[in-house]
Structure 1
Amino acid sequence: MKRIFAILFAALLICTGCTAQTPSGAASLEESSVSSVSSSAPEVFDQPPENREELPFDQMKYVQPDLDETIAQYENFARRVRNAKSSGEVMAVWKEEAQLCKDYYNMYTLSNVLFSLDTTNEENAANYQYMQDFIAKLKPAAVSLTRSILQSPYRSQIGDIVGAHVLDAMEIDTKNYSEEQLELELQENQLTTQYTQLLSQATVYETQEHTFTTSDMYYYIYAGSREDRQFAARLLEDYYRDLNQQCGEIYTQLVALRTQRAEISGFDNYLDYYYFNRSYRGYGREEIENFRAWVKEYIVPVYRQLKNDASARLGHPLNLFEYTAPLPEQTRVSYLESITSASKLVDIVVGILQDLSPETREMIDYMTRNNLYDLTSSPNKATGAFTTYFYGWQEPYVLSNNDDAGTYIHEMGHALNFFRTGDLMVLEQDLQGSDISEIHSQTLELLASPWLDRIYTDAGAAEKSNVFEMFITILSATMVDEFQHKVYENPDMSTEQLNALYAQLESEYFGEIDNLGLSYLDNGLDWVDIHHLFESPMYYIEYALTAVAALDFWQDSKEDWDDAFRSYIQFIDIPNDVNLSDSLTLAGLDNLFEKSTIEALSQNLSSYFSGNSFTE
């Protein structure tokens, strides 16, 4: 639900609340190395990489790998595995392949970052498209090698080395792949690149001096003169009418391609195909549908009650700037007057990470020293924000096109996990999904609460706003997931039907909203802003799952910040091949797929936003 985040970005919300805690000191973090989790199962935790060779971003050079040569190498790997006389020989070949894989994934990641920094650069766009196609065209040879490993008479011994569950996940992947899918995958890559370029280069209004974004327009609608509001509204109406048609055409093609891929693999629809591929995560479609039902049963009513109470106090239905605030009648949170530029905001966030813990200091100092982030907004930069990882160089990279402190801290939570990831023996051991990685990022946002006085005029209000935003994330991500489920169950829907479905679901989850006469919002045209729908289907629900876990960490931090942060670091250090359910158990967090967890969360949220203490 991109509109929510655009509005939050345009005008950060305020509410009353607890004063931010002061952390009890970094020394205790350095001194403590044992917890209830690590003491019971110390062998499950990764050790951060040692002797990492530092490579500054400006020294990374794109060298295009040769596809035919790489395919020949994979064919040779497969022959050697089939002729291997021991598990040791198989592993020796697999480790060679892993190094090759790390090398070309470095180039894929570098091409992606360079393209995202400037989507108008034709050379970078061509390189990124080449690497997307390279990965897709290489897959038949890679799958052949995988099948050779899985069919090896030494599979049992290999499983003892890399993990039998890793081999099981590989088997799931190979069962679903056929060379018939290659052309469909290439078409999908082209469409997602087309969408990225379209969204990053689209402008609402442009003068010789300035390019105006949707956030700028929302600001004028919120705080501008009557003439400014009317002008901004007309511009937004035109912008979304055109963007919706262009993106809608791309999306309907993507849905058709994904449905074809599922049918080729023998599935009735893309949902069955997707959940089969994700079965190693420890949950499936039934668990997700149960989760959505519980959100509707327990979380939505809490939101509706808060919204109705606020509406009664104000004497009118909440408008698009008010419905995402717990106390919309109060003054909005603002940055300190000393924050006069985006670069100044970056400096403050870097300082917070340096002081937050030894672990975050080590990470941010390394990334700053090697220019491994680009956070301030600029024209033609890819929209949104992301964190990626150079496997071969063992370095994370963060890119953001949002001048927003919360976004910076969120992405650095991802970077912290990548930074502490040990060198993988084989890349197939990296089974970590976004259902875990988003816990890393969302939790760091909330655990940074004691330092919000460096950013906002009212730190307590900012913390409460952040918690409410996490609350809204559970609702919006669940809503978007229901949208996707209905789309892939009915893959022939037109753009107009997609718009109507989105508007209907928004009403079901959020109730009546006064959109201040903006008909494109009333009619659901703004779903095209959600890039995950185009680039990462079915990803969005994981924001809701992980928000529940992040709020669990945050509640613990209100009792003992140091202990909560130690648990957070240990959660980050759980190896990448452990699935969500097992990771939650290791960290002592509540099971997200139990009704009682969602019911208890709803009670806690209701208590917190009504000014009471948490329920037990």
Structure 2
Amino acid sequence: MKFRDFVYERPNYDEINRKMSRLIEELKSETGETVVKIAKELNQINSDVSSMAQLCNIRHSINTNDEFYSKEKKYWDEFGPKYEDIITEYYRAVLELPDQKELRRSFPTPFFLMAKNQLSTFSSEIIELLQNENGLVSEYEKLLATAEVEFDGKVLVLPQLDPYCQSLDRDIRKKATLARSNFFKENKDKIDSIYDDLVSIRTEMAHKLGFNDYVEMGYAIMNRLDYDRKMVEGYRKDILKYVVPVSEKLYKRQAKRLGLEKLFNYDLPLEYTDGNAIPKGTPETILENGLQMYKELSPETGEFMYSMIDRELLDVLSKPGKQSGGYCEFLPKEQTPFIFANFNGTSGDIDVLTHEAGHAFQVYQSRWIEQPECVFPTNESCEIHSMSMEFFTWPWMHLFFKEQTEKYYFSHLAGAVQFLPYGVLVDHFQHEVYENPKMTPAERNETWRRLEKVYCPERDYSEDPFLEEGTYWYRQGHIFFAPFYYIDYTLAQVCAFQYWKRDYLEKDSSAWDDYMKICKVGGTKTFTEIVELGNLKSPFDKETLEEVMSAVDGYFESVDDTKF
């Protein structure tokens, strides 16, 4: 069945509630294998409900102007927390069972750890707050999805500005960057108001549930099963020590390549005087080449990508009314992933194809898992799959970039390095915001700019007073819709660098075998267990960052980037 034929049907909440409540009561009074049978039945209902929620979300994000799915999105904003309430009661019943032996033999350990976190982060007492939070997030997403900017005699959506921001003409780069900035400036009060309310609501939820602050609650929501905020704080310091110096060297080389004494913020997207590496061909050609790439990479990836394209499980073109960004979701009922992206003619089109395909391939391999909570692993583990896939596909980049392939390699790896300080900045900023929830909008912006100067000192906004105020974070959607989901990308990137080192530098064929292992286990293991299974080293060990960055820096030193 193709994606367009997937049937969406709004669940009947009252019926679901009655059925699950009855099963939960039965669960409490049973033992042994009967408990497992009832729990699996509850999992199936949860999966079916989740499928409808995800299908609605996907179709709404493809066209936020679609009236039917806009109404359905409001339904899920309201009823999502109510379904969460039922699931929480299921978890409570599971964790309070006197005899859990058979269940623990049949269900993976992370299921129980996540169930425990769910009990601590959800209560019927906060349903109304969750509904309000959902509504605010939808308001922010709608604002960006429907944004239109007049530029170059056209009306463009925000992702369509990216090629202009990489123009060889410095004046065009500057004007395009300012056009994007002006959109956020014009909507400053609205964005500040949305975030004010989100911080207030999240802090109130945390206090109602007995947490000291939303940081503590956020870690539990994110299912940080193996590490805490103190370890993250130490990791941030390691990024400053081992990564920022390499990142800044790369920016100096960029300025030298461009013949500029210094880089302004609008110069950062352009890396070479003859232009950045851009993919050749149409979006259709890119997908055809993507299919060839995945067929040659392995039998498993070939089967996977053929299924994705044949069933139309990718929506990659940028268009009016479409939500920004990219993501991968899993539809349990159809047992299939879905990839959402916004192609705009830059190298990012290939990055998103390989990145989101990494997520999709993992979940395709782990769709055998019956517990919907464990098909995907926790987020920092999820991102290992996506970011590593970006590197495992390097040998096929010539299909997309032709004579610019070496240029792409340099840019892709440099971008991954330079992302680490930014990713840590986003995380650090949120810690400060939720540790000081009474901050005014101006104080939040001052905090962002102060931290930005520490982690990303290359950012010179002297010709953009609005960004100089500390407002760049307005465009970082994760801060609004998935608080604390960002350090995960950086932890995974450090792991992905290890696979790059083994696969590309050392030609170690076992790297792919190890990658396949971690794809197949999905979320049946925790982050540290996945790291161990994949023969990786923990990003929290100082030696890991030092070793990885030494290999990466060595590669850059071996490349003559002046020839690009």
TM-score when normalising by structure 1: 0.84
Find the counterpart in structure 1 of residue 490 from structure 2.
Answer: 544
Q: Secondary structure at the match of 2:525?
A: coil
Contact kept in structure 1, 2:462 and 2:468, CA below 8 Å: no
Superposed CA deviations along residues 182-231 of structure 1, whole A, max 9, x for unmatched, are 111111111111111111001121799643536527716844485x5676
Find the counterpart in structure 2 of residue 598 from structure 1.
Answer: 545
1:162 aligns to 2:107 (yes or no): yes
Counterparts in 2 of 1:422 and 1:329: CA distance versus 1, 3 Å? closer
Counterparts in 2 of 1:495 and 1:427: CA distance versus 1, 3 Å? same
- Of residues 421, 426, 429, the one that matches 1:475 is 421
1:300 aligns to 2:244 (yes or no): yes
- Of residues 75, 78, 83, the one that matches 2:29 is 83
User: 1:371 & 1:398 partners in 2: Cα distance?
Assistant: 10
Deviates more, 1:124-133 or 1:102-111: 124-133
Find the counterpart in structure 2 of residue 116 from structure 1.
Answer: 61
User: 1:221 & 1:557 partners in 2: Cα distance?
Assistant: 31
Counterparts in 2 of 1:534 and 1:376: CA distance versus 1, 3 Å? same
Contact kept in structure 2, 1:343 and 1:376, CA below 8 Å: no
1:334 aligns to 2:281 (yes or no): no
User: 1:329 & 1:221 partners in 2: Cα distance?
Assistant: 10
The offset of 1:323, in angstroms, is 4.4
Q: Secondary structure at the match of 1:592?
A: coil
Computed over aligned residues only, the root mean square deviation of the Cα atoms, in angstroms, reads 2.5
Counterparts in 2 of 1:388 and 1:165: CA distance versus 1, 3 Å? closer
Contact kept in structure 1, 2:159 and 2:324, CA below 8 Å: no
User: 1:570 & 1:476 partners in 2: Cα distance?
Assistant: 30
Q: Secondary structure at the match of 1:573?
A: helix
Aligned amino acid, residue 485 of structure 2: Y
- Of residues 562, 567, 571, the one that matches 2:514 is 567
User: 2:154 & 2:183 partners in 1: Cα distance?
Assistant: 20
User: 1:608 & 1:421 partners in 2: Cα distance?
Assistant: 34
Report 1:6-17 matches (<5 A): none
User: 1:164 & 1:360 partners in 2: Cα distance?
Assistant: 28
1:576 aligns to 2:520 (yes or no): no
User: 1:217 & 1:343 partners in 2: Cα distance?
Assistant: 20
Contact kept in structure 2, 1:243 and 1:528, CA below 8 Å: no
Report 1:77-476 matches (<5 A): 77-84=23-30, 86-205=31-150, 210-211=155-156, 213=158, 215-216=160-161, 219=164, 222-224=167-169, 232=176, 235-278=179-222, 281-308=225-252, 311=255, 314=259, 316-320=261-265, 322-323=267-268, 328=271, 331-335=274-278, 339=281, 341-403=282-344, 404-430=349-375, 432-456=377-401, 457-476=403-422
Contact kept in structure 2, 1:108 and 1:131, CA below 8 Å: yes
The offset of 1:342, in angstroms, is 2.9
User: 1:533 & 1:513 partners in 2: Cα distance?
Assistant: 20
Contact kept in structure 1, 2:148 and 2:155, CA below 8 Å: no
The offset of 1:459, in angstroms, is 0.9
User: 2:81 & 2:124 partners in 1: Cα distance?
Assistant: 10
Q: Secondary structure at the match of 2:129?
A: helix
User: 1:312 & 1:348 partners in 2: Cα distance?
Assistant: 34
Deviates more, 1:488-497 or 1:411-420: 488-497
Aligned amino acid, residue 60 of structure 1: F
User: 1:103 & 1:63 partners in 2: Cα distance?
Assistant: 10
Q: Secondary structure at the match of 1:107?
A: helix
Superposed CA deviations along residues 313-334 of structure 1, whole A, max 9, x for unmatched, are 8461223355478xx4654333
Contact kept in structure 2, 1:95 and 1:425, CA below 8 Å: yes
Superposed CA deviations along residues 390-417 of structure 1, whole A, max 9, x for unmatched, are 1122100011123311111111111101
Counterparts in 2 of 1:411 and 1:315: CA distance versus 1, 3 Å? closer
- Of residues 452, 457, 463, the one that matches 1:511 is 457
Identity, in percent, stands at 24
User: 2:292 & 2:379 partners in 1: Cα distance?
Assistant: 27
Q: Secondary structure at the match of 1:590?
A: coil
Contact kept in structure 2, 1:387 and 1:397, CA below 8 Å: yes
1:498 aligns to 2:444 (yes or no): yes
User: 2:497 & 2:174 partners in 1: Cα distance?
Assistant: 39
The offset of 1:612, in angstroms, is 7.6
User: 2:207 & 2:496 partners in 1: Cα distance?
Assistant: 37
Runs of 4+ in 1 over 6 A off after TM superposition: none
- The gaps in structure 1 that reach 5 residues or longer are 1-54
Superposed CA deviations along residues 40-74 of structure 1, whole A, max 9, x for unmatched, are xxxxxxxxxxxxxxx32122111111111111112
Superposed CA deviations along residues 152-194 of structure 1, whole A, max 9, x for unmatched, are 2222332222145532431232133221111111111111111
Aligned amino acid, residue 488 of structure 1: Y
Deviates more, 1:545-554 or 1:211-220: 211-220
User: 2:479 & 2:550 partners in 1: Cα distance?
Assistant: 31
Q: Secondary structure at the match of 1:375?
A: strand
Aligned amino acid, residue 130 of structure 2: E
Find the counterpart in structure 1 of residue 470 from structure 2.
Answer: 524
Counterparts in 2 of 1:397 and 1:230: CA distance versus 1, 3 Å? closer
Superposed CA deviations along residues 540-568 of structure 1, whole A, max 9, x for unmatched, are 11111011001100010122263322222
User: 1:273 & 1:256 partners in 2: Cα distance?
Assistant: 14
- Number of residue pairs aligned between Structure 1 and Structure 2: 553
User: 1:290 & 1:609 partners in 2: Cα distance?
Assistant: 27
User: 2:559 & 2:339 partners in 1: Cα distance?
Assistant: 38
Superposed CA deviations along residues 282-309 of structure 1, whole A, max 9, x for unmatched, are 1111111111111011111222344346
Contact kept in structure 2, 1:221 and 1:232, CA below 8 Å: no
Aligned amino acid, residue 101 of structure 2: S
Considering Cα pairs closer than 8 Å and 6+ residues apart, tell me whether 1 or 2 has the greater RCO. Answer: 1
TM-score when normalising by structure 2: 0.92
User: 2:123 & 2:194 partners in 1: Cα distance?
Assistant: 24
User: 1:212 & 1:430 partners in 2: Cα distance?
Assistant: 34
User: 1:106 & 1:431 partners in 2: Cα distance?
Assistant: 14
Find the counterpart in structure 1 of residue 503 from structure 2.
Answer: 557
Counterparts in 2 of 1:433 and 1:300: CA distance versus 1, 3 Å? same
Counterparts in 2 of 1:208 and 1:496: CA distance versus 1, 3 Å? same
Counterparts in 2 of 1:69 and 1:525: CA distance versus 1, 3 Å? same
Contact kept in structure 2, 1:204 and 1:235, CA below 8 Å: yes
Superposed CA deviations along residues 479-514 of structure 1, whole A, max 9, x for unmatched, are 111111111111122222222222222211122434
- The gaps in structure 2 that reach 5 residues or longer are none
